[in-house]
Amino acid sequence: MVERNTTRKSPRRTDALSRERITAAAVELLDAAGEGGLTFRALSERLATGPGAIYWHVANKSELLEAATDAVVAAALPAPVTPVAADECVELAKPEAPVRSPQDEIRAVALGLFTAIAEHPWLATQVTLQLSLGPAKPVPLRLFESLGRQVGALGVPQESWFTAASALMHYILGAAAQNASNARVAGSEVGRAEFLDAVSAAWEELDPDEYPFTRAVARQARDHDDREQFLAGIDLILAGTAAR
């Protein structure tokens, strides 16, 4: 008589783990509970495995945060394309394969990151941290390369590439992060419309001799669209780059 093996198999699937799967679970935890909610214990529970199996793929929380940040930004940015000068787009474009100008490509990069930071409240802090730790980190490199290729296609002299790409990158990161912060403040107690109404009303009550400009744009602040304002800033930088 053959004896049956009655040993129950564990439901844990450590053999199915990968760095990509761990990173995706980390992003879910970050979205749900922020950086404080991302622990290896919580990650282990979500993945139905033990911490040791996760450490096999990721050394520590810092590496995990970096991987999560890079994954979200990579998904947000448009696929890399070969830069095409603006005056060549009309000749090369075909109905089945439209070609975007460098300006359009820069706007796509900017808006992709703007949207990602708005959708992932933790992202702005992590991107800023990577930037502060050095330009060799994956996210600053990815963004700088995406913008730099298009700066070159705009016809900017090579000696000005670094300055132009840096100006774009710092504007995009700063403006996107500030917008996300404002949205969280407005959403914590009141809606965006009520928040802007309060700001506009406060500006209208300022001393007209000390704050003439701020009073003059109070209504514009109330009625503005965040994305349109963000993209207007990109257009201003591009116009200045072209003028130089």
Residue 65: inside a domain: no
CATH number for the domain harbouring residue 230: 1.10.357.10
Domain of 226 in residue numbering reads as 81-243
Residue 66: inside a domain: no
Q: What is the 3-state secondary structure (H, E, C) of the chain?
A: CCCCCCCCCCCCCHHHCCHHHHHHHHHHHHHHHHHHHCCHHHHHHHHCCCHHHHHCCCCCHHHHHHHHHHHHHHHHCCCCCCCCCHHHHHHHCECCECCCCHHHHHHHHHHHHHHHHHHCCCHHHHHHHHHHHCCCCHHHHHHHHHHHHHHHHCCCCHHHHHHHHHHHHHHHHHHHHHHHHHHHHHHHHCCHHHHHHHHHHHHHCCCCCCCHHHHHCHHHHHHCCHHHHHHHHHHHHHHHHHHC
Residue 148: inside a domain: yes
Residue 130: inside a domain: yes
Residue 55: inside a domain: no
pLDDT of residue 70: 94
Residue 40: inside a domain: no
Average pLDDT over residues 139-155: 92
Which pTM value belongs to this model? 0.79
Average pLDDT over residues 51-69: 93
pLDDT of residue 187: 64
Residue 201: inside a domain: yes
Structurally, the chain folds into a number of domains equal to: 1
Residue 49: inside a domain: no
pLDDT of residue 94: 45
Average pLDDT over residues 124-136: 84
pLDDT of residue 206: 95
**In this model, does residue 186 exceed pLDDT 80?**
no
**In this model, does residue 15 exceed pLDDT 70?**
no
